[in-house]
Amino acid sequence: WFSRIVMYNDSTLLMNGKIGLYALQYNAVEKSLSIDPSLHLPEVEISALYVDRDERLWIGTYAGLYKENSPSPVERFTLSIPGKVGSVHVKWLEKGKGIWYAATQHDGMLVLDENFHTLHQFPVTDHGEKLRIGKMIRFDSTYLWACTERGILEFNTSTGAYTFLRFKDHPDYLNGSTIYELYRDRDGLIWVAGEEGNTVYTIEPKTKAIRKIEYSESNSKFTVNIVYRFGEDGHGNMWLCGDVMARYNPHLGKVDSLIVKLPLQHNSRKVFLLYRNSNNELWIATNGENWHIYSDQNGFSIFDDDRMSPDLNKYHVMIDDRLYYVSRLGKIVILNTLNRKSRVL
């Protein structure tokens, strides 16, 4: 017999002995390796180890083949509202202490328990019209801010009361505007994008002072018709993503770079999304193509598995360096951007 070593996940290596398995833990911060002296599967004489792209362990033995039985990480919950017939269209979820807040298409703000049962419903209207609530961010321990078609909604999680934000220094800013995106950057500044072309706003949380950034002769590269997403890079720049991508340089106070088409892009379709992982790689998606990856060291590349191509009109988010999204094939995908391993559900 001889030992084989496989990488089980980002921090765990597996090594077989004459019988059974040993686990080795890698600490990326300290760059150290430690071994767990416990012997796993002591009754099995192992001849081969393999981890597939879905991170399931396969073990070849002299008595047969074993496969790890990994449960699906996705569980389906059906939301309902007492007295309402039909489904509930949820646009965004935000976690609270033992509860969830759900922004909906036509049913206002819902408060759900951890099993996604409706505890409270708070209708959100403007002059009697039901409003669609979109993305939310937590402003502080009491308030949520949300995108609506009448401006930024400020929702009090303690009382269920809400109002639309007005700014003392510029009461006309965002008043009655459709808001598409809210984003809090690493310094705490809140970025806002709405229906105004070639325009975004920043809000200072402590004072709620608002500033407009827009196209001008001195900011002539700001030509993003409508900004749908924000994304920071590893150098502190803010990318404004829409029908083109514009890089706002906070040190210069203006857009200093504009990308109309990615260097390796095959089609000429618009609408871009951008995420940044902990390695400061930029993962960029555009309509009808796979992920484009950019790093300072290697420049641009394209993810080479067609199954991973994202549908930009469906759900997508990055959590702990993993992209969770719906592919163009209609599958739920979990893609680890550090080791490029994926799971298609």
Looking at the predicted structure, is the pLDDT value of residue 18 above 90? no
In which band, very low, low, confident or very high, does the pLDDT at 41 lie, cut at 50, 70 and 90? confident
- What distances in angstroms separate CA 66 from CA 19, 27, 43, 45, 319, one per listed residue? 14, 29, 13, 12, 31
Q: What is the pLDDT of residue 1?
A: 61
**Mean pLDDT (whole number) for 224-231:** 92
Considering only 39-53, 80-94, 113-127, which range has the smallest mean pLDDT? 39-53
* CA dist., res. 146 & res. 179, Å (int): 9
In which band, very low, low, confident or very high, does the pLDDT at 341 lie, cut at 50, 70 and 90? confident
CA angle 88, 193, 331 (to 5 degrees): 45
Which residues lie below 8 Å from residue 332, measured CB to CB, with a gap of 6+? 74, 324, 325, 326, 344, 345
* CA dist., res. 155 & res. 108, Å (int): 11
Question: What's the residue count for the chain?
Answer: 345
For residue range 72-83, what is the model confidence (pLDDT) as tens digits?
A: 666 778 889 988
* CA dist., res. 284 & res. 290, Å (int): 9
- What distances in angstroms separate CA 14 from CA 115, 228, 341, 343, one per listed residue? 35, 43, 17, 20
Looking at the predicted structure, is the pLDDT value of residue 337 above 80? yes
pTM score: 0.79
Structure tokens at 317: 């988010």
Q: What is the pLDDT of residue 71?
A: 66
* CA dist., res. 328 & res. 314, Å (int): 9
For residue range 292-307, what is the model confidence (pLDDT) as tens digits?
A: 999 999 999 998 888 8
**Mean pLDDT (whole number) for 26-53:** 83
In which band, very low, low, confident or very high, does the pLDDT at 158 lie, cut at 50, 70 and 90? very high
Strands 190-194 and 179-184: antiparallel
For residue range 176-214, what is the model confidence (pLDDT) as tens digits?
A: 999 999 999 999 999 999 999 999 999 999 999 999 999
Average pLDDT, the chain: 91
In which band, very low, low, confident or very high, does the pLDDT at 219 lie, cut at 50, 70 and 90? very high
* CA dist., res. 54 & res. 118, Å (int): 34
* CA dist., res. 271 & res. 294, Å (int): 17
* CA dist., res. 248 & res. 58, Å (int): 47
For residue range 105-134, what is the model confidence (pLDDT) as tens digits?
A: 999 999 999 999 999 999 999 999 999 999
Q: Identify whether the C-beta of residue 277 lies closer than 8 Å to the C-beta of residue 321.
A: yes
For residue range 240-289, what is the model confidence (pLDDT) as tens digits?
A: 999 899 999 999 999 999 999 988 888 888 778 899 999 999 999 888 88
